[in-house]
Amino acid sequence: MQPLTPRERFLRACRREPVDRPPVWIMRQAGRYLPSYQEVRARASFMELCKTPDLAAEVTVRAVEDLGVDAAILFSDILLPCESMGLDLEFTDAGPRFPSPVRSASGVDALRVPDPASDSPYLAEAIARVRRGIGEDVPLLGFAGAPFTLAAYMTGGEVGKRLDTVIEMRYREPALLERLLDRLVEVVAAHLAHQIDAGCDAVQLFDTWASLLSPADFRRFALGPARRVIQALGTPRPPVIYYMKGSAGVLDDLPDLGCEVISLDWMQDLHRARGRLPGLAVQGNLDPAALFGPEEQVRALVRAQHGGQPGHVFNLGHGILPRTPVSGARAFVAAVKELSPAPVG
Ligand code: CP3
């Protein structure tokens, strides 16, 4: 097959069409492990970086150049729209923090549905600048947190500590949680639509914490709201990728989402998972820790994941870890680039 541009390769893989080789990118590819990110980050706080189009575009584009990946992902964070909803948000060294988490009906009712064009004008500006940097041949991904995962952060307040607050709320006051999720469906849909209008080629929904829920609750509080977000985007629309960490217990429900690609965590077998996702492409799912190992081992793991069938976007099973050696990330990308459309022995 003729070599494809990265954009053709990525979009064809999302549609499960044949490709010259599978595309590859890395979740959190512009992050603390990368010297070009650290350099820019030394000049600005994390929030400033996100909200200054020149800086956000610079780290986005440099990650693509440094790694040679097939896609750019806009530099931002899933929690920024929560700030536009009226909730104070801080990024500390330990992670994000909401000093006044949402725990009551009045708290939910006080949240507004922002208009991304006027509330986050830096987004479209950053997207335009990234496009100038990467050109037309490289796809640009937008993203948002899925409603349930955003609710987990907004009710919990502090990362790592109180993510279980959302589960307490589910049993104590399910109607309140649903009211919060309803609002988030609108916010997330508008946020994604804005990024698509500004020029993103695909969008990813991060539902990292949906596996906190029992399977029946997953359908009600995570899948249902995420499906409504996707429906609200209308058709035609660019491909939607859905990521959750720990999806093995609910795989059979995921075709109901109405997305094109499921991004799999590393705790399950890629080939078996594919068999349970009829009609969908998959993304993933190398263990992020594998990039600490020898390059030859990374190459062998990549070959083992290559099924040869269309509809696979190589990635890690979660975001790249902050202490990852850049050489490990490069070895991963190089190993995928050695693959051909046919399975490799
Ligand atoms: O992929 C990319 O390169 C694009 C940028 C991006 C960031 N965060 C930048 C970031 C994306 C897509 C995210 C998504 C995100 N943010 C998720 C979902 C994916 C996942 O990892 O589960 C979540 C849960 C968040 C919330 C968040 N933001 C946390 C928990 C933290 C702190 C801990 C951590 O992993 O870094 C952040 C901060 C953050 N977001 C950093 C970056 C590069 C580090 C900030 C710094 O420079 O100090």
CA angle 292, 21, 268 (to 5 degrees): 50
Comparing CA positions, the residue from 303, 254, 298, 293 lying closest to residue 276 is 254
Q: Which of 26, 27, 28, 79 to mutate to test the pocket of ligand 1 (most atoms within 8 A of CB)?
A: 28
Q: Tens digit of pLDDT for each residue in 100-148?
A: 999 999 999 999 999 999 999 999 999 999 999 999 999 999 999 999 9
pLDDT at 136: 98
Q: Tens digit of pLDDT for each residue in 162-179?
A: 678 999 999 999 999 999
Q: Which of 39, 43, 62, 78 to mutate to test the pocket of ligand 1 (most atoms within 8 A of CB)?
A: 78
Please tell me the residue having the least CA distance from ligand 1 atom 39: 77
Q: Report phi then psi at 306, rounded to 5.
A: -80, 110
pLDDT at 163: 73
> 28 C-alpha vs ligand 1 centroid, how far in Å?
7
- Which residues of the chain have a pLDDT value below 70? 157, 159-162, 342-345
> 77 C-alpha vs ligand 1 centroid, how far in Å?
6
Q: The whole model's pTM is what?
A: 0.96
Q: Is the dihedral of CA 178, 278, 145, 234 positive or negative?
A: negative
Please tell me the residue having the least CA distance from ligand 1 atom 24: 208
- β-partners of residue 138 are none
Please tell me the residue having the least CA distance from ligand 1 atom 5: 75
Q: Tens digit of pLDDT for each residue in 299-308?
A: 999 999 998 8
Q: Which atom of ligand 1 is nearest to the CA of 204?
A: 12
Comparing CA positions, the residue from 141, 232, 247 lying closest to residue 187 is 232
Q: Tens digit of pLDDT for each residue in 281-291?
A: 999 999 999 99
Report how far residue 327's alpha carbon sits from residue 15's, in angstroms, rounded to the nearest whole number: 31
Please tell me the residue having the least CA distance from ligand 1 atom 46: 46
Report how far residue 201's alpha carbon sits from residue 213's, in angstroms, rounded to the nearest whole number: 31
Please tell me the residue having the least CA distance from ligand 1 atom 25: 78
Which residues carry out catalysis? 28, 32, 41, 77, 153
pLDDT at 344: 44
The answer to whether 195 and 230 have CB atoms below 8 angstroms apart is no
Ligand 1 cavity residues, CB under 6 Å: 27-32, 41, 46, 73, 75-79, 91, 95-96, 143, 159, 206, 208, 319
Rounded to 10°, the helix 174-197/165-172 angle is 120
pLDDT at 2: 85
